[in-house]
Structure formats: C-alpha cells, structure tokens
A and B are shown apart, each in its own frame.
Chain A
C-alpha cells in the first residue's frame, strides 16, 4: 500500500532562516506526491505536487519541494521562513488502488519564531 512518513512531529526555526519539513514515501510504481498546509481552525490548503518532470517543484507562498527517488523522499523547503508560515504541514501520496484517494502523513507542526 502507498504510504508517507513524516518523522518529525515539530520543526522549530527562526524567522529568516531556511526551513525543511521531511517526508519519505513508500509506493508501488511512480509516486504522485503532495504537500498541504493547515492553519489553525482551517481546512487543508494545497501547496504543491510532484507528478513527473523536474525534481524541484515550486509551490505556493514561496515553498518548494525536492523529489529524490533514490532516497524516496519529498522534503518541503523554504529559503527564508516567516512567522506566518507557522502551521501544520501534511505530506500525502495518491493511492493507486483507490480512486484518487490521498493517503496523508501524520503531519509536522512548523513553528517559526520571531
């Protein structure tokens, strides 16, 4: 079965510093990978996706993610963190056995301090 793992429950970073939120995947076949962000008391918002093509994917709010097939990773990155980036981040993979079903990781809370 398709799955993703987010090894960190929380990531702390100072404003202005680069940030990385980690995600590794386990899939059969080619992976369809996604990052979503959830702000407090809000629904999830799509950030970016990798389907095929360039390994570096650019998304919303200055975020990007790097697909690494050899390491089966899809880490989310941003060169300079903002306090407003503080939120819960979910990595997800599309399940090939389900009709467009997304399988989410357990989420990583990002805290950006001023």
Chain B
C-alpha cells in the first residue's frame, strides 16, 4: 500500500488556470507538508499542517492555498497559474513522535 500518495502525477496546464493537487497519507501521521522542487532540484517547504491546522506558511504567494479536510489529506490549490509555478510538488507526512518525513511520489506541474 502506498503510504503517501499524490494525484495527479503529471499536470500540464496553461497560464491563468486554476488547478489542484491532492495528497493522502495512510500512516496515521499528524503532520503533513507541501514542498516545491524547482528545476535545479532545490527543495523548499511551502506549508505544513498539524491535525488540520496550518502551522507553517513560508513566503508563498496567496495564489497557493492549502486545504486539509482531515488529518489524512492535504490538498494544494493554485489560482492563476504562472510560468514560474512549473516545478515538482511533493507532499510529505510525519508522525509527531518521529523525526522522519515520508514523501509522496511528486506531482510534476508544467505551466505553458
């Protein structure tokens, strides 16, 4: 069973569109994250939720809005997509008592 899953795996869309990426974890973890990996493979955290509550919001444009309907899901909605949003987005989860994060397979977003 996949521990952290993301859909879709690939997303190609045009500038100005709105899109969502979904993430689910079946590990029972309390904390979930969204990371962005750019074309140079640099990985940076965007958001973190703990038990459906936003706890980390790095300097991310307001066009990005995370939503956590329950602690097993953390979705990422992006409005008015821009070329610079093209990247691979990774979801991750972590149990509160652990220091290890488990990553999803990533969603490659291409904005044309």
Pairwise interchain contact A100-B48, C-beta atoms closer than 8 A: yes
Residue interface bits A74-114, CB-to-B below 8 A is 1, else 0: 00000000000000101000100011111110110000000
**Contact-residue size bin, chain B (C-beta under 8 Å from the other chain):** 20 to 34
Task: Find B100's partner among A41, A46, A104, A106 (CB 8 Å cutoff).
Answer: A46
Residue interface bits B11-36, CB-to-A below 8 A is 1, else 0: 00000000000000000000100000
Pairwise interchain contact A102-B101, C-beta atoms closer than 8 A: yes
With a CB–CB cut-off of 8 A, which chain B residues contact A88?
Answer: 41
Residue interface bits A43-74, CB-to-B below 8 A is 1, else 0: 11110010100000000000000000000000
A-B contacts, CB under 8 A, total = 59
Pairwise interchain contact B41-A107, C-beta atoms closer than 8 A: yes
A49 CB to nearest chain B CB (Å):
6
- Report the bound CA distance from A10 to B88 in whole Å: 21
The residue of chain A having its C-beta at the shortest distance from the C-beta of B31 within the complex is: A100
The residue of chain A having its C-beta at the shortest distance from the C-beta of B9 within the complex is: A41
With a CB–CB cut-off of 8 A, which chain B residues contact A41?
Answer: 105-106
What's the dominant secondary structure at chain A's contact region? strand
Pairwise interchain contact A43-B105, C-beta atoms closer than 8 A: yes
With a CB–CB cut-off of 8 A, which chain A residues contact B92?
Answer: 43-44
Pairwise interchain contact A106-B48, C-beta atoms closer than 8 A: no
Pairwise interchain contact A49-B106, C-beta atoms closer than 8 A: no
Pairwise interchain contact A45-B103, C-beta atoms closer than 8 A: yes
Q: CB within 8 Å of A: which residues of B? A: 4, 31, 40-45, 48, 50, 55-56, 90, 92, 94, 96, 99-106
Chosen A-B contacts, 16 in total, with CB atoms closer than 8 Å, are A32-B99, A41-B106, A43-B92, A43-B106, A44-B92, A45-B103, A88-B41, A94-B99, A98-B45, A99-B48, A99-B50, A99-B55, A100-B48, A101-B56, A106-B42, A107-B43
